[in-house]
Amino acid sequence: MSTMLEEIRQQPAAIERTFKSESRNVERLRKHFETHRPRFIVLAARGTSDNAAQFGRYLLEITTGIPVSLAAPSVYTLYKAHVDLKDALVVAISQSGESTDTNLVLERAHEAGAMTIGITNEANSALAKMCEYAFLVRAGKERSVAATKTYTGQLFSMYMLAYALGAAIKLDDLKKLADFAGAALKLESEIRTRAERYRFMRQAVVVGRGLNYANSFEFALKLMETCYVVAERFSSADLLHGPIAMLESSFPAFVFAPPGVTWKPIRELLERLKSIQVESLIITDRSNREAQTDKNNVVTIPAALVRKPAIPEELFTAIPYVIPGQLFAASLAEVKGLDPDKPRTLSKVTLTL
């Protein structure tokens, strides 16, 4: 068994540990932000962590109303621009905490008067030491080059951060994310069987929207780095603005389809894909009945993740929904005879400027 698969299975425990160790700090931080609300938030990251930032950008704007921006690191590192960040909150996200450019953005932000937060898996990292406030992801050492448990740990930290910033969610509700992750893990053997069909897939497109847009980037990244599949990723809206022209029946679409406000545009896209003979594999959960009409094309998380109408309904889907994608990439790598833990040309810590 690959280390990647082992680490995928550790996710519910990692989320629980992170919740227990960080929740008291988060309560304190919430008090702090009651009187020190940031004017806007900048998130800085690379790779998988940047996908977690992409999720944070939606979650934080939707639940707190504070405008969020994803940092362009080169503005700080190469161009050495002086961006006016006083009264901003700048959050750097890095599994290792040793990402040179992300850390440099945080340093510049601190000099510019911003409050700084670091989200990292490594308590002794440069990032954990330099930030004013560290959110530690308690995922345990991640040994596979393909990040999985640290990604969901970072997503989880984003929920904690949203709570700290005053989002109308209950801290205790976050506990159930560990259960949701556990429900998604039950798909392991089904997904291993499904992966066989894709043995010779070389290209794919992954589609998500809103709170699952980041997951489309992350699923695609796993396909790229562990299976060497050329995986495009788009929101359903962006796909229609041009790129849909390149799709053809020779490569499949993987589509995140939670219930809630994104379902209508996603359903329309699925119909459009069908009309141009693109085969789709849909990821959904028990509460989206409409998505489950054709079992051949649907992976259903065996839990109803949305129990009552809430706004936005699919707030808690991001962690369980990415897990079928992780399982799929790990399984497909195996089917293709590849080692997902040691992708060619990659190492665990990437230093870029």
Contact positions with its own copies (CB under 8 A) in 196-215: 203, 209-210, 213
Decide: helix, strand or coil at residue 37: coil
* Interface segment toward its own copies; rule CB under 8 A; list 11-19, 132-140, 182-190, 261-269: 261-269
Nearer to its own copies, 13 or 62 (CB): 62
* Interface segment toward its own copies; rule CB under 8 A; list 126-134, 157-165, 258-266, 287-295: 258-266
| Closest CA relative to residue 191, chosen from 211, 219, 150 | 219
**Residue 265 is a binding residue for its own copies (CB under 8 A):** yes
**Residue 57 is a binding residue for its own copies (CB under 8 A):** yes
The Cα 298–Cα 280 span in angstroms is: 8
Rounded to the nearest whole angstrom, what is the least distance from the CB of residue 348 to its own copies in the complex? 11
Count of residues near its own copies by CB under 8 A: 71
Q: Which of 104, 130, 171, 230 binds its own copies (CB under 8 A)?
A: 230
CA distances from 78 to 50, 86, 279 (A): 19, 21, 43
**Residue 229 is a binding residue for its own copies (CB under 8 A):** yes
**Residue 143 is a binding residue for its own copies (CB under 8 A):** no
**H or E element in which residue 281 lies:** strand 280-285
**Residue 232 is a binding residue for its own copies (CB under 8 A):** yes
- For the segment 98-127, give every residue that binds its own copies (CB under 8 A): 101
DSSP per-residue codes, 148-183: -HHHHHHHHHHHHHHHHTT-S--GGGGGHHHHHHHH
**Residue 311 is a binding residue for its own copies (CB under 8 A):** yes
Longest dimension (CA), the chain: 56
* Interface segment toward its own copies; rule CB under 8 A; list 76-84, 160-168, 295-303, 320-328: 76-84
Identity of the residue numbered 315:
L
**Residue 243 is a binding residue for its own copies (CB under 8 A):** yes
Rounded to the nearest whole angstrom, what is the least distance from the CB of residue 231 to its own copies in the complex? 8
Exposure of 292 by Cβ count < 10 A (0-12 exposed, 13-18 middle, 19+ buried)? middle
Tokens linked to 121: 């898996």
The Cα 217–Cα 29 span in angstroms is: 30
**Residue 248 is a binding residue for its own copies (CB under 8 A):** yes
**Residue 40 is a binding residue for its own copies (CB under 8 A):** yes
Q: How many Å separate Cα 340 from the centre of its chain?
A: 19
* Interface segment toward its own copies; rule CB under 8 A; list 24-32, 171-179, 241-249, 329-337: 241-249
